[in-house]
Homo-oligomer: A and B are copies of this chain.
């Protein structure tokens, strides 16, 4: 992950890592700033609030992203803030936050940064170092294509020190990060039995990732998503993110036309074309449909499959659109190559 030390591997899928980060890093008298531009970012606030003295929040519309300058202003006004939390790719919205810019602001303010990079890491250029994260949580079950069951967490020295100083940080617990600090050294026992099948799967997935080359993997995700967006718009449908440059390369969220129920579109796409889409979650549930491009599904040619299935299912629900134009636009972008 580009850090000097190996990440901590927790034995549960990445929600464990996020809950553990909140439980371990946030001390009783901490003030936490949570940045919410989507359902997952918002959700982290509930965990942070459980452990903090006070939770502040900057929240923007869930098709938008956090402005680093707003973070700077907040931290200037509230210098007591100890921990900032941000979600890189808020999957239920298909939108990205500029975590590298946010990280630079947080460092200046001498706070610690928790980053949820669960569904971005491995699918685009991002690293703990680039965003100066203190706890950077991801997992192999998204862009590496593994079965779910593990968290990868990069932890900074400052975060280790803060967790060790935090009397309420879980130890001898599934929620503990501290328990696993030395677990991967040959001289240390495991706190409990690790998930050996998933650990082997992670090894195999990393072999593939490195064989293909991270830059190639990222480009594959980016092209798949760009072609999908072009195809969707050429059919006459809007994407959910308010601006192209905050749209995720690992998941495309599409705005559902008025009067159409996302659940019906999803059901039709599966029944008629054998293609699985996702709905939104929480606040975005009735408004959008999501097309995943992670790991093995991030094949540029699958943009045709996605656009055709989306177009066909929308048409079956009564939307008027031009599928041929959509597919032609997909092809144009595939041939442009980026």
Contact = CB atoms under 8 A, between A and B. Distances in A.
Interface of A: 11-13, 15-16, 19-20, 46-47, 141, 147-149, 172-175, 192-198, 201, 272-275, 299-302, 304-305, 308-309, 311-312, 315-316, 323-325, 327-328, 330-331, 334-335
Contact of A331 (B13, B193, B327): B327
Query: This chain: how many copies in the complex?
Result: 4
21 contacts: A11-B12, A12-B16, A46-B172, A141-B193, A147-B197, A148-B194, A149-B195, A149-B197, A175-B175, A195-B195, A195-B198, A273-B300, A273-B334, A274-B299, A304-B304, A304-B305, A304-B308, A304-B327, A305-B305, A311-B331, A324-B328
A173 B17 CA distance: 11
A151 B158 CA distance: 34
A165 to B, nearest CB: 20
3 smallest A-B Cβ distances: which pairs? A324-B328, A327-B327, A147-B197
Contacts of A46: 172
Contacts of A20: 174
**Chain A: interface secondary structure?**
helix
B301 A308 contact: yes
A249 to B, nearest CB: 17
A192 B19 CA distance: 12
A263 to B, nearest CB: 13
Given A13-B195, A15-B192, 13 more contacts: A15-B174, A147-B196, A148-B195, A149-B197, A174-B175, A175-B175, A272-B335, A273-B301, A274-B300, A316-B335, A323-B328, A324-B327, A327-B331
A275 B301 CA distance: 9
Contacts of A330: 308
Nearest to A173: B19
Nearest to A174: B16
A16 B299 CA distance: 37
